Each structure stands twice: as structure tokens, then as C-alpha cells.
């Protein structure tokens, strides 16, 4: 579980995905992503295999779907489209709406954390990705209904999930060290690596179809 969830690899990815967000928002995203991922992993550990079998979905199809979703995120990272919601609108740039109307104004979606990345792509498929979900289903199945063994699997998984949360929290300190220019460089490079990981997911899934 430590290898497939890769807490250390999450920190630099999170720097690129959460660039331009405040410290409190990054903390909230890290906590929400960890909790959502934990819930998904727990559900898949208990009911994942029967559910996929009932729906007629193979793990290979799950890998391909996760790879496609990750590839779309990688494109945004490489071409700098990850924080569109934080950029000024066309009206703001043209000066049409320079004078705000009187009275209390509703919070704009971009000011309230538009483009929430906690569920997608952080919780799934980066933390609770195809490899993680497949691993938890295999490990839970290997317990053969033994409550002690099954509990051990979930306790160890919870420990790895805690490491993932800590890695996300420490990403802010890493961002301060590398600076804004460093973040842009890291974002582009990791976008390419994430695209390669996405292609690997798809390749593994396709290989499983024909293997």
C-alpha cells in the first residue's frame, strides 16, 4: 500500500495542482482529499470486488478509465490551465465592470474555491487510484473473512493514508523553498510525468484485456 499510494510522490503533484491557493484552503483540501480517499478505499475493500463483478466491470477497465482521467489533468498541468478559475474574467480585463453595484454582493464562485481538486483528482485517482483500489481488494480478499487479518489490512492502509495527508500538508513548506518560478517548472515537469503515468495505466489495462 505504501508503494501504490506513494505519499512522497503526492507532495510535488499537489504543489502543481494547488498553485495560487491560500494556506487555509490548501489545508482544507488536503484534509478533505484524505478523508474522501479513505472512505473510497474502505468501501472498495469491503464491497469493491462484488460490486465490479455485479456491474460486469473488470479491473483492467478501471485502470484504463483512471488513466484517461489522469491524462486530462496532466494536460492542464503542462499547458498551465490548472488555475483558470482564479484568473480575471473577460469583463474584468476589458474594464466593462469596473464600478461594482451598490449593496452586498454574493461571493463569486472563484472566490469560494472554484475548481475543487480535493475529490478529483486528489482523492481519486491520485490517492485512491486503480492500483490502490485493486490492492485493497486483493488484500481484503486474502483475509478470507478473518476479522483480525482484515482489520490489520485497514489499520496499515490508514497509516499510509495519514502519511499521504502529512505529505500534502508539508507541500506548502516545499513551495516556499522553491518559489513561484520553481513551482511553474515543477508543474510542467510533473505534468509530463503524470501523463506518462496515465499512459502506463491505460497500457496496463489494455494489456490485461488481451493478456
Please state whether the predicted TM-score (pTM) of the whole model is above 0.75: no
Give the pLDDT band of residue 6 (cuts 50, 70, 90): confident
Query: How far is it, in rounded angstroms, from Cα 165 to Cα 137?
Result: 22
Per the domain annotation, does 97 fall within a domain?
Answer: no
For residue 57, the Cα-to-chain-centroid distance in whole angstroms is: 22
Mean pLDDT, residues 130-141 = 82
Per-residue confidence (pLDDT) for residue 88, from 0 to 100: 37
Which residues have a Cβ under 8 Å from the Cβ of 194 and sit 6 or more positions away? Answer: 13, 70, 73, 74, 77
Per-residue confidence (pLDDT) for residue 89, from 0 to 100: 39
Average pLDDT over the chain reads 78
pLDDT of residue 54 exceeding 80, the answer is yes
- Domain count for the chain, please give it: 1
Per the domain annotation, does 108 fall within a domain?
Answer: no
Per-residue confidence (pLDDT) for residue 184, from 0 to 100: 78
Mean pLDDT, residues 115-135 = 85
Per the domain annotation, does 91 fall within a domain?
Answer: no
Per-residue confidence (pLDDT) for residue 109, from 0 to 100: 39
Mean pLDDT, residues 155-178 = 88
Per-residue confidence (pLDDT) for residue 42, from 0 to 100: 94
Per-residue confidence (pLDDT) for residue 148, from 0 to 100: 92
Query: How far is it, in rounded angstroms, from Cα 107 to Cα 113?
Result: 10
Domain, as residue range, for 203: 2-85+115-210
Report which of 3, 62, 57 is spatially closest to residue 205, judged by C-alpha positions. Answer: 62
Tell me if 201 sits within 8 A of 193, measured CB to CB.
no
Per the domain annotation, does 24 fall within a domain?
Answer: yes
Per the domain annotation, does 94 fall within a domain?
Answer: no
Cα distance from N-terminal residue to C-terminal residue, the chain:
25
Comparison of pLDDT for 136 and 182, the residue scoring more: 136
Per-residue confidence (pLDDT) for residue 31, from 0 to 100: 94
Mean pLDDT, residues 60-73 = 80
Per the domain annotation, does 105 fall within a domain?
Answer: no
Give the pLDDT band of residue 11 (cuts 50, 70, 90): confident
pLDDT of residue 68 exceeding 80, the answer is yes
Mean pLDDT, residues 6-24 = 81
Mean pLDDT, residues 14-34 = 87
Question: Cα separations (Å) of 142 from 43, 56, 62, 92?
Answer: 16, 22, 21, 58
Give the pLDDT band of residue 81 (cuts 50, 70, 90): low
pLDDT of residue 154 exceeding 50, the answer is yes
Per the domain annotation, does 107 fall within a domain?
Answer: no
Per the domain annotation, does 98 fall within a domain?
Answer: no
Per-residue confidence (pLDDT) for residue 155, from 0 to 100: 95
Amino acid at each position: 500500500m505504501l508503494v501504490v499510494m506513494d505519499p512522497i510522490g503526492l507532495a510535488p503533484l499537489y504543489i502543481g495542482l494547488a498553485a495560487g491557493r491560500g494556506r487555509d484552503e490548501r489545508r482544507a483540501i488536503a484534509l478533505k482529499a484524505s478523508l474522501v480517499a479513505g472512505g473510497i478505499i474502505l468501501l472498495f475493500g469491503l464491497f469493491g470486488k462484488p460490486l465490479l463483478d455485479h456491474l460486469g466491470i473488470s479491473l483492467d477497465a478501471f485502470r484504463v478509465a483512471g488513466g484517461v482521467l489522469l491524462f486530462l489533468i496532466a494536460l492542464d498541468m503542462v499547458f498551465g490551465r490548472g488555475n483558470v478559475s482564479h484568473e480575471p474574467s473577460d469583463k474584468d480585463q476589458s474594464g466593462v465592470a469596473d464600478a461594482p453595484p451598490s449593496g452586498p454582493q454574493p461571493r463569486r464562485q472563484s472566490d469560494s474555491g472554484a475548481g475543487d481538486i480535493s475529490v478529483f483528482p486528489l482523492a481519486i485517482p491520485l490517492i485512491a487510484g486503480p492500483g490502490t483500489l485493486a490492492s485493497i481488494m486483493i488484500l481484503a480478499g486474502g483475509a478470507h473473512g478473518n476479522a483480525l487479518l482484515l482489520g490489520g489490512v485497514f489499520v496499515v492502509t490508514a497509516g499510509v493514508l495519514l502519511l499521504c495527508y502529512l505529505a500534502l500538508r508539508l507541500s506548502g513548506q516545499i513551495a516556499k523553498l522553491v518559489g513561484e518560478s520553481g513551482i511553474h517548472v515543477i508543474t510542467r515537469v510533473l505534468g509530463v510525468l503524470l501523463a506518462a503515468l496515465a499512459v502506463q495505466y491505460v497500457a496496463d489495462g489494455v494489456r490485461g484485456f488481451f493478456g
